[in-house]
Structure 1
Amino acid sequence: MMKDLNQDMMTCGVCVEPGTFALEARELPQEAPDGYRLVDIAAIGICGTDYHIFEGKHPFLDYPRVIGHELSGYLASGPDAGDLVVINPYVSCGTCRACRRGKPNCCTQIGVFGVHRDGGMCARLAVPEANLYPATGLTPEQAAMVEFLAIGAHAVARSQCGKGDQVLVTGAGPIGLGTALFARLAGAEVHLMDISRPRLETARDLFGFTQIHTPDETILTGDLSEGFDVVFDATGNVNAIEAGFPLIAHGGSSVLVSVVKDTVTFTDSEFHKREMRIIGSRNALKEDFDHVIASIRAGDIPTDAIASAVVPLAELPERFAGFVENRDHIIKVLVTP
């Protein structure tokens, strides 16, 4: 619910330095800059980026940092005060070529809450009004899942996959699962691959993905002997990306959802004879957020299965390291301020 406007301070979840997560008191924002709205945070999702920040593996971050970019909240003032909203955490400049061409998700000056600037693991946050989307019909916890699911929805939109397509998603973590869910909604026949058998079994048991594989299996047999129409990579591993290229059918596409710092290589003759596309997929657009919100509202996304735990912020300093260590067995941890 909305916070007391007379309250002066709020508690924030801060990565002080690699390996140290703590609670700190910060001033509660009372006014928003022009074009911004104050939002009382309702729920925060923890994602792989937050784990990387904790581990000191994020290349674009200065410590200390208030983390949290998977966010929902209530508008803090105005005639629509109390309305639940989803926060798009990608703040674009609006003037670069990408922004002018309708691609703010790859803005040259993009700033992401919880990464390039302090995030939403706190009581209240000032957010550009254009980055707030109504979450009517969703719970606060569901609304906090929209951003990470929009990553997968955007990748599926970029791939243009649909009914009749054979699709492989490599990496059965949260982003891979979101990609697989929206590929299935688009009508594709979805296969999942991961090095972790427990992750694959979770995907099967909770989400009904029965066509699951480990990398050591031979899968290009029978109906798949000619390869997959689309291979999505959500592993963040250069070897997995390169191993996916030979699995792509002639005329097919590789969609790189994850990001690696390594140089990705492929054989040009194989690339050309397939007339293959390699597609980068970065962040998400408003239409992807809208698609996710509508899909959750329609009951097409099993959010109860996605939520592994809901934890009060006060408990997080004691539990954060444990979530990092056990993330292979966790889909999504949600935090409440």
Structure 2
Amino acid sequence: MKAISITEPNKAELVDIPEPAATGTGEVLLRVKQVGYCGSDLTSYRGLNPMVSYPRIPGHEIGATIEQIGEEVPEQWKVGQNVLVSPYTSCGKCAACKAGRVNTCRYNQTMGVQRDGALTELVVVPYEKLLTSDKLSLEEMALVEPLTVGFHAVARGEVTSDDTVVVFGCGAIGLGVIAGASARKARVVAVDIDDEKLELAKRCGATDTINSMNESLHDRLQEMTDGDGPNVMIEAVGLPATFRACVEEVCFAGRVVYIGYAKAAVEYETKYFVMKELDIRGSRNAMKSDFEDVIAHLESGAFPMDAVITKTVPLEEAPAALAEWSENPGEITKIHVKL
């Protein structure tokens, strides 16, 4: 069967691999129909993902149809059913798993990152990783997982309808944050340096936007909050400057959530941590509850799916699409591969 493999940095190609079968207890064989490229796929392609070895089949944003069912799979799962997949693993034994935070398992292996992913015709997964919806298309199902990352960050920030939430970055993950905070009826301020991305952020639920290249971030946020600063700052860019801005601009007793990885060491004025008594939290992957929240959000029709998916290509064109994204990252929000 056909698959896309990143064989080495800056090289992806269409390859033939053996077909799998759902032979193990609790396993389900899926025929993959739609896969979204993730930012981690791009960093893997560029050779910048330290968790990836080569060759690697990417892909963990999945819309698929059940092809075959192994033994001891519950009757709710049936051949021909459309599903999506939670692509993470959890050991059940580490400190995070014991605390119920399986999304950040110490030994997690995400599909397409630490292990091969789903950018292939068939893939086997445990039935416990399946979710479904009678209302979502396969295209929408493939959009669920990337949005869960943003929804999880919103949950980490304990966002409520009383909050003003600032989101740094209007890429695919940032748009998920914006949608998640909007779903909780918060006031959402999107910050970026691209006016087109800020317009898309409005369609995803942002109530206010700031182009930090053209406007004073500090002055605008002070005006919006009567001098207090926002209640929650969520960073989805990965720059030292935005990491620092979170603690500088957030209100006293505020919450800061980091999704992005800063590409360089970050120097802080640490007095703000103590003076403001800040809650500073990381956010990784997503919980099952986040998947359920995103499914409900997409079912409501509130998310502008067509505007977020920049282009859809067939499997044969997936390597070229990944190369194009690497060359022009600012022009692409989300690429889908249709099998």
Query: TM-score range with shorter-chain normalisation?
Result: over 0.9
2:95 aligns with 97
**1:172 and 2:176 equivalent?**
no
Separation of aligned partners in 2, 1:244 and 1:100: 30
On the 8 A contact 2:182/2:205 being kept in 1, the answer is no
Instruction: Give the letter aligned to residue 69 of structure 1.
Output: H
Q: Residues 258 and 32 (structure 1 numbering): CA distance in 2 closer, same or farther, change over 3 Å?
A: farther
Rounded Cα–Cα distance in structure 2 between residues aligned with 1:223 and 1:321: 41
Matches within 5 A, 1:67-86: 67-78=58-69, 80-86=78-84
Query: Matched residues in 2 for 1:223 and 1:171: separation?
Result: 19
Cα deviations by residue, 1:113-151 (Å, 9 ceiling, x for unpaired): 101111000011111221111232110010001100000
2:208 is equivalent to residue 211 of structure 1: yes
1:221 aligns to what? 222
Aligned to 1:175, the other structure's residue is in SS state helix
- Alignment match, 1:232: 234
**Residue identity in the other structure for 2:52:** L
Q: CA deviation at 1:308?
A: 1.7
Q: 2:154·2:181 contact (CA, 8 Å) conserved in 1? A: yes
Q: What residue in structure 2 maps to residue 259 of structure 1?
A: 261
Match for residue 48 of structure 2 among 40, 45, 57 = 57
- Deviation, 1:235, is 0.3
More strand by share: 1
Q: 2:143 aligns with which of 145, 158, 178?
A: 145
Q: Which amino acid aligns with 1:61?
A: V
Give the fraction of aligned pairs with identical amino acids, expressed as a percent.
34
SS for the counterpart of 1:228 is: coil
Does residue 34 of structure 1 match 2:40?
no
Q: Take 2:321 and 2:287, find their aligned partners in 1: how far apart are those partners?
A: 33
C-alpha distance in 2 between matches for 1:298 and 1:184:
13
Q: Which residue, out of 272, 284, 287, partners 2:286?
A: 284
Partner Cα distance (2:221, 2:310) in 1: 33
Q: Secondary structure at the match of 1:29?
A: coil
* TM alignment of 1:268-283, pairs within 5 A: 268-283=270-285
Deviates more, 1:265-274 or 1:19-28: 265-274
With normalisation by structure 1, the TM-score equals 0.92
**Aligned runs of 1:325-336 on 2, under 5 Å?**
325-336=327-338
Other structure's SS at 1:66 match:
coil
Query: SS of the counterpart of 1:212?
Result: strand
Q: Does 1:116 align with 2:153?
A: no
Give the 3-state SS of the residue equivalent to 1:193 in structure 2. strand
Q: RMSD across aligned C-alpha pairs, in angstroms?
A: 1.6
Name the CA shift for 1:220/1:317 in 2 (closer, same or farther; >3 Å): closer
Bigger drift between 301-310 and 102-111 goes to 301-310
With 258-267 and 14-23 compared, the bigger mean Cα shift is at 258-267
Corresponding residue pairs, total: 327
Which blocks of at least 5 consecutive residues in structure 1 are unaligned?
A: 1-9
Give SS of 1:291's match. helix
How far is 1:38 from its partner? 1.1
Partner-residue secondary structure (3-state), 1:111: coil
- Which deviates more from structure 2 when the two are superposed, residues 319-328 or residues 148-157? 319-328
Deviation at 1:261, TM superposition (A): 5.4
Structure 1, 179-188 or 220-229: larger mean CA deviation: 220-229
User: How big is the shift at 1:198?
Assistant: 3.3
Provide the rounded CA distance (Å) in 1 between the counterparts of 2:204 and 2:128.
33
TM-score normalised over the length of structure 2: 0.92
Q: Is 1:24 aligned to residue 15 of structure 2?
A: yes
In the alignment, does 2:250 pair up with 1:248?
A: yes
Q: Is the 8 A contact 1:199 1:328 kept in 2?
A: no
What letter is aligned with 2:204?
F
In 1, Cα distance between equivalents of 2:25 and 2:264: 40
Rounded Cα–Cα distance in structure 2 between residues aligned with 1:169 and 1:32: 45
Contact 1:71 1:143 in 2 (8 A): yes
Displacement after TM superposition at 1:195 (Å): 2.6
- 1:57 alignment partner AA: L
Contact in 1 for aligned 2:313/2:321 (Cα 8 Å) = no
Q: CA deviation at 1:201?
A: 3.3
Q: Please identify, of 300-309 and 59-68, the stretch whose mean Cα deviation from structure 2 is larger.
A: 300-309
Per the TM alignment, residue 208 of structure 1 is displaced from its structure 2 partner at its CA by 5.7
Task: Indicate the SS of the match to 1:65.
Answer: coil
Three-state SS of the structure 2 residue aligned to 1:249 is: coil
Q: Is the 8 A contact 1:155 1:179 kept in 2?
A: yes
Distance (Å, rounded) in 2 between the aligned partners of 1:98 and 1:253: 21
For 2:147 and 2:320, the matched residues in 1 are separated by 27
CA distance in 2, matches of 1:90, 1:36: 15
Instruction: Name the CA distance, whole Å, in 2 between partners of 1:181 and 1:22.
Output: 34
